[in-house]
Amino acid sequence: MIDMDITPADRKKYPYHTEDSIKGILYIQSLPSSVLAGYAHDYANIREQMSSIMGDDTNPNWTMSQVATELYERNVIDEKVYDKLMED
Protein backbone atom coordinates (compact mmCIF):
# COMPACT_ATOMS: atom_id res chain seq x y z
CA MET A 1 0.00 0.00 0.00
CA ILE A 2 0.94 3.60 -0.36
CA ASP A 3 2.88 4.99 2.57
CA MET A 4 1.93 8.64 2.92
CA ASP A 5 0.39 10.85 5.53
CA ILE A 6 -3.05 12.32 5.07
CA THR A 7 -3.44 15.85 6.35
CA PRO A 8 -6.57 17.40 7.83
CA ALA A 9 -6.81 19.44 4.61
CA ASP A 10 -6.83 16.21 2.57
CA ARG A 11 -9.60 14.78 4.73
CA LYS A 12 -11.59 17.99 4.35
CA LYS A 13 -11.16 17.97 0.57
CA TYR A 14 -12.26 14.32 0.30
CA PRO A 15 -14.71 13.85 3.17
CA TYR A 16 -16.52 10.87 1.62
CA HIS A 17 -13.43 8.86 0.68
CA THR A 18 -11.70 6.16 2.65
CA GLU A 19 -8.14 6.68 3.83
CA ASP A 20 -6.84 4.32 1.12
CA SER A 21 -8.84 6.18 -1.53
CA ILE A 22 -7.40 9.50 -0.44
CA LYS A 23 -3.89 8.04 -0.58
CA GLY A 24 -4.60 6.74 -4.08
CA ILE A 25 -5.87 10.11 -5.25
CA LEU A 26 -2.88 11.91 -3.77
CA TYR A 27 -0.51 9.40 -5.34
CA ILE A 28 -2.10 9.82 -8.78
CA GLN A 29 -1.96 13.60 -8.38
CA SER A 30 1.75 13.36 -7.60
CA LEU A 31 2.58 11.66 -10.90
CA PRO A 32 3.81 13.68 -13.89
CA SER A 33 1.37 14.19 -16.73
CA SER A 34 3.53 12.10 -19.05
CA VAL A 35 3.21 9.07 -16.76
CA LEU A 36 -0.55 9.55 -16.40
CA ALA A 37 -0.95 9.91 -20.17
CA GLY A 38 0.97 6.67 -20.62
CA TYR A 39 -1.39 4.91 -18.25
CA ALA A 40 -4.38 6.34 -20.09
CA HIS A 41 -3.20 4.69 -23.30
CA ASP A 42 -2.25 1.38 -21.74
CA TYR A 43 -5.10 0.07 -19.60
CA ALA A 44 -3.37 -3.24 -18.83
CA ASN A 45 -0.31 -1.37 -17.58
CA ILE A 46 -2.32 0.83 -15.23
CA ARG A 47 -4.03 -2.22 -13.74
CA GLU A 48 -0.72 -3.91 -13.07
CA GLN A 49 1.09 -0.83 -11.79
CA MET A 50 -1.68 0.45 -9.56
CA SER A 51 -2.43 -2.97 -8.14
CA SER A 52 1.20 -3.35 -7.13
CA ILE A 53 1.20 0.10 -5.52
CA MET A 54 -2.31 0.35 -4.11
CA GLY A 55 -3.20 -3.29 -3.50
CA ASP A 56 -4.88 -6.08 -5.42
CA ASP A 57 -8.37 -5.05 -4.36
CA THR A 58 -8.06 -1.66 -6.10
CA ASN A 59 -10.81 -1.23 -8.68
CA PRO A 60 -9.11 -0.54 -12.03
CA ASN A 61 -12.13 1.43 -13.24
CA TRP A 62 -11.82 3.74 -10.23
CA THR A 63 -8.12 4.12 -10.91
CA MET A 64 -8.68 4.97 -14.56
CA SER A 65 -11.37 7.50 -13.62
CA GLN A 66 -8.92 9.20 -11.25
CA VAL A 67 -6.23 9.27 -13.95
CA ALA A 68 -8.69 10.67 -16.51
CA THR A 69 -9.93 13.31 -14.08
CA GLU A 70 -6.40 14.39 -13.22
CA LEU A 71 -5.39 14.63 -16.89
CA TYR A 72 -8.52 16.64 -17.66
CA GLU A 73 -7.96 19.01 -14.74
CA ARG A 74 -4.38 19.57 -15.96
CA ASN A 75 -5.73 20.38 -19.46
CA VAL A 76 -3.79 17.48 -20.96
CA ILE A 77 -6.91 15.90 -22.47
CA ASP A 78 -10.16 17.37 -23.71
CA GLU A 79 -13.76 16.35 -23.00
CA LYS A 80 -13.90 13.79 -25.80
CA VAL A 81 -10.83 11.92 -24.57
CA TYR A 82 -12.03 12.21 -20.98
CA ASP A 83 -15.40 10.69 -21.92
CA LYS A 84 -13.72 7.90 -23.86
CA LEU A 85 -11.47 7.01 -20.92
CA MET A 86 -14.43 7.01 -18.56
CA GLU A 87 -16.40 4.68 -20.85
CA ASP A 88 -13.66 2.06 -21.30
Instruction: Quote the distance between the C-alpha of residue 68 and its chain's center.
Output: 7
**10-55 pLDDT tens trace:** 999 999 998 888 988 999 999 999 989 888 777 667 767 777 777 7
Question: What is the Cα–Cα distance from 32 to 38, expressed in whole angstroms?
Answer: 10
Domain coordinates in residue numbering, the chain:
24-87
Give the predicted TM-score (pTM) of the model.
0.83
Q: What is the pLDDT of residue 78?
A: 93
